Structures are given as structure tokens and as C-alpha cells.
Amino acid sequence: MTEETMIARKEGHAGRLTFNRPKALNALDHEMAMAIEAALDAWRDDPEVDLVVIDAAGDRAFCSGGDIAAVYRAGIAGDYAPGRDFWRDEYRMNAKIAEYPKPIVAFMQGFVMGGGVGVGGHASHRIVGESTQVAMPESGIGLIPDVGGTLLLARAPGHVGEYLGLTGARMNATDALYAGFADMFVPEADWEELKTRLIETGNIDTLPHPRTPPEPGKLEGLRPEIDRIFWAENLSAIVAKLETSGSEFAEKTYKTVLRNSALSMEATLRLIRMTRAENTIRAALTHEFRFTWRAAELGDFLEGVRAQIIDKDRNPQWKYALDALPEEAVAQMLEPLGPEWAIWEETT
């Protein structure tokens, strides 16, 4: 029997979901996403479940992102269906977490990236600790911050969301709290006792008062400069501001932007602003699916994964340079999909 990669069970008054792929940094694959959804569906009206606790095995990661190896292999062979099916099912699961009628408490240690943000970042009570590192680095692999990430980025203070989405910058606990990706810092030494209390009582009010993380953040102090640069209308204007600002922050950020996919970054910028106007999880996921549905066939996704994950040469050959990105290429990636590709087959 193979070991379960997503352990779902009931304990006390709680439903429990545990990522169980510590050697793979708890990367989320299609089967795991479906297991999460099935458990949430089963517990929604279960009188024995008062709340849901989501955690992860190992110290290094809550969930480091989506396991996209199978999507890459299929895409290279010209089969885009596995990726489209995975993202559709994953997004439906993300929405169920965000809309769940019972409290969901996520304990997010270590790496919380991409698909991990899609699980923990939409929980009603998001706990971080000393080791937490949160990021949406998808522009570096030719994708966009998906799994509802554009909603969290859109809700971040000022234009911090645009900065995080374009650069994939990592946030520690303090920054995650500031940017709205987490709700509460609890020392990791206290997590097991807290989980036990939640499971035994089923009472969300047993959560402790928030504590101040020991490590300061960077985002709040950088906010004025971030806003001056990332309010700009489009990627080209942002790049121009980075080039002429002259600060250490701008120089470092410019180098980061140069490494990422221009197509992904411009689409990310537009998606964050589209979602900011509508401000719902379903709008965010519907817009994101337009890009990810086309990502392997028309975007930079396959080349990004090859360069960063498969061959690891860190030298992706993107389709477009920063100064030569056609408007029609971006528009094509963000065109609405037909009704036959809808995510929302059900209303819950």
C-alpha cells in the first residue's frame, strides 16, 4: 500500500487534513487536491465536525506549490488536458476553502508557495510561525499567481500586491501578516498544544491572542517606494521607473523582473487589477483560469518549468523581451473562455 500523500480524518470535534509529502516539500498534486475537496464536502454538513484543521508533515514546508511535473510532461507531448483538468479541480477546491461555512485553521510552517497559498491562504484562520516563508513566484516559471492568489494580492495594502506578484518576493511571518496572507503569529513550539485544544473543543475561540513575530518585516518600510513604482499603468512603465529610481531596492527589483516572463508579469498586473475591481474568490479564479488554461499551449509555462525545474539551467528563453511584448499576446491569454470550460459546475 502506498502512503497517503494527503491524510484526511476526523478527530474529536475536528476534520483534519495533513499534507504528507515532506520529502517533496508537500507539493500539491491533482490527487491531493481532489482529496481535500472530497473531505470538505463530506464534513460540510457533518454534525461531528465543528472546524477543520489543515497542517503538514515535516519542518521545511506547509506546501511548496503545485506538483507540475505531470502537467509539464503531458504539455511537452502536446497534451494540454491534464493541466487544464488539474487547475480546474484545484480552483474549485480553493473556492470551497474560501467559502467554507465552518472555521478552517491552517498551520503554515516553512515554504508556503503557489498551491500552498491556495490551500492555507484562503482559510478563515491562517497561522504562521518563525519559519514561515510565503511567496507567489509563478512569473518565474511562465505562469501567473493563481489558486486565488490574485485576490490576496489585490487586497494587499497599496500596490504591494503588484510588487509581490511580479517579483515573487518572499514574505516572512511579519510581512505575511502585513500583506494579508496570514492572520496570526503563534510560536511553532505551541502549535501541537493548540491543535490538540482545537480538536478537543471544536471551539475556534480557544485560539490565543496574536503575538508579535520576532523577526521584523520589510514590506511596510518599503511601502512608499513600492507604491511610487508599482502604481504605474503597465509593465513597461514599471520597468522604466525601476531603471530610473536609483535606489538599492529598485536596482535589486529590476534584476528580478529581468529574469521573469514578460508575458506572465503583464498578465499578472492586469489580473490583480481586474480582481481588485470585483473582489471575490470566484472572479479571481475565473480570470486566472483564462491564463492557465492557455499557459502550456500559448504561454511561457513549458519553457519556464524546463529552465527552473527540469533542466535547472536557470536560463529560460522567454517568448518576448520586456521591451517587445505585443499587446495581442497578452490579450489572447486573458480572453474569456467559453462556457464549456467553466470551473463552476456546481453552486455551493
Catalytic positions, please?
Answer: 66, 115, 138, 146
Cα–Cα distance measured from residue 51 to residue 304, given in angstroms and rounded to the nearest whole number? 39
Contact 257, 242 (CB under 8 A): yes
**Side-by-side strand order, sheet with 111-113:** 61-63, 111-113, 133-135
Contact 291, 146 (CB under 8 A): yes
Kindly list the distances between the CA atom of residue 52 and the CA atoms of 21, 126, 152, 246, in Å, as whole numbers in the listed order. 20, 12, 21, 48
Half-sphere exposure of 154 (CA within 13 A, CB side): 25
* Grid coordinates of 93: 477546491
Cα–Cα distance measured from residue 88 to residue 25, given in angstroms and rounded to the nearest whole number? 23
Q: Which amino acid is at 98?
A: A
Cα–Cα distance measured from residue 270 to residue 276, given in angstroms and rounded to the nearest whole number? 10
Q: Which amino acid is at 96?
A: K
* Grid coordinates of 81: 488536458
Residue whose C-alpha cell reads 511571518 in the numeric block: 173
Residue whose C-alpha cell reads 476553502 in the numeric block: 97
261 burial (CB, 10 Å; 0-12 / 13-18 / 19+) is buried
Helix (H) or strand (E) holding 120: helix 115-120
Does residue 62 sit in helix, strand or coil?
Answer: strand
Contact 199, 53 (CB under 8 A): yes
